[in-house]
Amino acid sequence: MKWILLFLLPTLAFAQPSKEQQFRFSLNTVIKNSTMPDVRPGMVVASPSRENPDYYYDWVRDTALTYRAMVDYYELTKNPQIKKMIFTWIDSETYRQNQPTFTGLGEPKYFIDGSGYTGGWGRPQNDGPALRAVAMIKFARLMLQENNQDYVLKKLYHGVIPADSPIKKDLEYTAHHWREPSFELWEEEMGLHFYTLLAQHTALQEGAKLAQELGDAGAADFYNEQARQIGQMLLSQFTDANIGIKATIRRVNGGLGYKTSNIDVAPLLALNHNAPYQKLFSLKSPHVVKYVNTLVSVNRQIYKVNHDYPNLGVAIGRYPEDKYDGYVTTKEGNPWFLSTLALGEFYCQVRNEAKNSKLNDLIEKQFARALFHSDRKGAMSEQINRYDGHMQGAYELTWSHNAFMTAMMRCGLVKRK
């Protein structure tokens, strides 16, 4: 018996967790990063890392995506602890929406006491309010299903101007600012972005439905009309014969300058984050297919880890010209966990629609790629070194774990209660 144990131990130490085990690890890490004792309740740190890099702040985008996943998880499990966290998050967003900041609701990043960040930053970032609205609208729907209309009217949506409820504030901000350039999700370039605009389109479209149901018909018309115009812009100005979908147009002052291909994982993230709501871009449409094929082949090509481990899925970075290595913006970019997992999630969306079991193998390989580069005990940082495959950048990044959770849920691998 003893001998068998001795033989097994080293293998166990290096064994990768199963997807289901990693889901538990990721959920626990997200909860941990969302309940830090020195952080205002309801706020989420992007990572526990306080230096090199300092991610000990709450980014509106990261937190909105975190809680969108929490709402999705609550829908599946009806877990009361998660529900309580969601209530606390809504109170905290309500508080922070009323804080003075440099750019109002477009402020991307907050100190952990809930006040707006005061240092230099790429601001505004107008995806944040839209993503937050979509997460809250979904929760409002669940509360309506639970016959808790009181909560919705009191805490989430109230049809008055000036807006005094969180969803309406975000919708008003979005409806009035989408035409203006803002920084994209990577916080580097001012312009108009596919990612931001698709999030804004969804927020206004879903917001219009909620407004209509809650008797705010005039607002519903206005939100719908803005959503329609955004849709028109996305379809006409962001599609491209060579790369399918462009990430950014109308860069202000030339943007970064070196980001020339316009091939970016951001549209892929957008197609995940706006499902199942957006109907502008069918996953089978020629532009989407062209875009995803281009994205995958470029990423497969540029990272050594993809050549070294060709049997795993493709490790995906932000964009080919990226110089952010997780610490400084003057080196070489790497694959990221969240983008690598996003490709798996995307394949699951396609499979869900088309019942195409040929994708099963590709899906498994994307999960395997992410688990392979994790520490095999549940930890995931921001990035994966493109040469040696080790983790780097902010450790235990909330968004990496969130991406694991959303991929699992989209792939139907988390059980409904």
d(CA 216, CA 329) in angstroms, rounded, equals 46
Task: For residue 364, state whether it binds ligand NOJ (rule: CB under 6 A).
Answer: no
Site for ligand NOJ in 208-267 (CB under 6 A): none
Binding-site string for ligand NOJ from residue 269 to residue 288, where x marks contact by CB under 6 A and - marks none: --------------------
Q: Which of 19, 58, 61, 216 binds ligand NOJ (CB under 6 A)?
A: 61
Site for ligand NOJ in 7-36 (CB under 6 A): none
d(CA 384, CA 379) in angstroms, rounded, equals 12
Q: Which of 324, 346, 367, 404 binds ligand NOJ (CB under 6 A)?
A: 324
30, 409 Cβ separation under 8 angstroms: no
For the chain, what is the radius of gyration of the CA atoms? 21
Nearer to ligand NOJ (CB atom), residue 23 or residue 110: 110
Task: For residue 188, state whether it binds ligand NOJ (rule: CB under 6 A).
Answer: yes
Nearer to ligand NOJ (CB atom), residue 175 or residue 265: 265
306, 262 Cβ separation under 8 angstroms: no
In 283-354, where does DSSP find H-type helix? 286-302, 304-308, 337-354
Nearer to ligand NOJ (CB atom), residue 62 or residue 264: 62
Counting runs of H as helices and runs of E as strands, what totals does the chain give? 15, 9
Q: Which stretch binds ligand NOJ (CB under 6 A): 56-64, 69-77, 111-119, 197-205?
A: 56-64
**Phi and psi for 223 in degrees, rounded to 5?**
-65, -40
Short-list 322, 326, 321, 366, CA closest to 347: 366
234, 201 Cβ separation under 8 angstroms: yes
Question: In the block, which residue shows the tokens 């995506």?
Answer: 65
Count of residues engaged in binding ligand NOJ, rule: CB under 6 A? 13
Task: For residue 329, state whether it binds ligand NOJ (rule: CB under 6 A).
Answer: yes
Task: For residue 186, state whether it binds ligand NOJ (rule: CB under 6 A).
Answer: yes
Instruction: Give the nearest distance from C-beta 186 to ligand NOJ in angstroms.
Output: 4
Which residues of this chain interact with ligand NOJ, rule CB under 6 A?
A: 46, 53, 55, 59, 61-62, 185-188, 324, 329, 399
